[in-house]
Amino acid sequence: MIPHRGAQVLTVAVVCSVALLGLYIGLGGASYKPTDVADPCEQRPLVAPEGIEATVQQLALSALDGAACELQITREDLVLSLADPEERTAFLDERAISDETLEAAVRGGLQRAYDDAVAVGAIDGLEAILVGEAIQHVPVDVLVDVAQSETAQEAAALLGDFATSDDGGEALDTLEGLFD
């Protein structure tokens, strides 16, 4: 009786495999085509995000789009280049882009994201003032590290380290001047 049961299990497995393959092909799996990469220069629809995570995500995507558009590259290529210092160096050398050009593009992208966020009311008031000033005065490397932070505590620690540095002191002096 056991060999007969084994044959039944094998038959059921083959039938399920064929059904799964048929479903895959029926849903378009036979003609795989990757999704086209979005044009970073094309303005995405703006919506007021709900919650801090959605706001940060929308700001990050808008900033990356703006920088990628300025550099005339895909957002995905830009993300890969910013993720690792060695990748960044190779990326810049391959495309003959200077550090200054990359920094200006990223800062421009951040400004675009800021403008988008203010336009939809995602940030306003004192928060908007502080973010706008951070874009102008915090080094791009620090802003990228903050954006890559996995937790708010990690981001706060990075900003705290920056604030206690010489460059951070100058940025804080500038902020104090806003409130005088």
pLDDT tens-digit profile of 34-87? 777 788 888 777 777 777 777 777 788 888 888 889 989 888 888 887 777 788
* Within-domain flag for 44: no
Question: Residue 165: is its pLDDT beyond 70?
Answer: yes
* Within-domain flag for 65: yes
Model pTM score: 0.65
Q: Mean pLDDT throughout 144-171?
A: 74
**Residue 100 and residue 165 share a domain:** yes
Number of domains observed in the structure of the chain: 2
DSSP letter (8 states) at residue 40: T
pLDDT tens sequence across 103-156? 888 888 888 888 888 888 888 888 888 888 888 878 877 777 777 777 767 877
**Residue 142 and residue 56 share a domain:** yes
Print burial letters for 109-126: b (CB count within 10 Å at least 16), e (below 16).
Answer: bbbbbbebbeeeebbeee
Give me the chain's average pLDDT, please: 79
Cα–Cα distance for residue pair 154/74, rounded to 1 Å: 28
- What letter represents residue 32's amino acid? Y
Backbone angles phi, psi at 60, to 5 degrees: -65, -45
**Residue 99 and residue 148 share a domain:** yes
Question: Residue 1: is its pLDDT beyond 60?
Answer: no
Cα–Cα distance for residue pair 81/91, rounded to 1 Å: 6
* Within-domain flag for 151: yes
**Residue 18 and residue 78 share a domain:** no
**Residue 59 and residue 10 share a domain:** no
* Within-domain flag for 39: no
Tell me what pLDDT residue 17 has.
84
Confidence band, pLDDT 50/70/90 cuts, at residue 23 = confident
E-state strands within the chain:
none
Instruction: Map tokens 């092909």 to a residue.
Output: 25
Q: Domain of residue 128: give its range.
A: 52-178
**Residue 26 and residue 101 share a domain:** no
**Residue 81 and residue 4 share a domain:** no
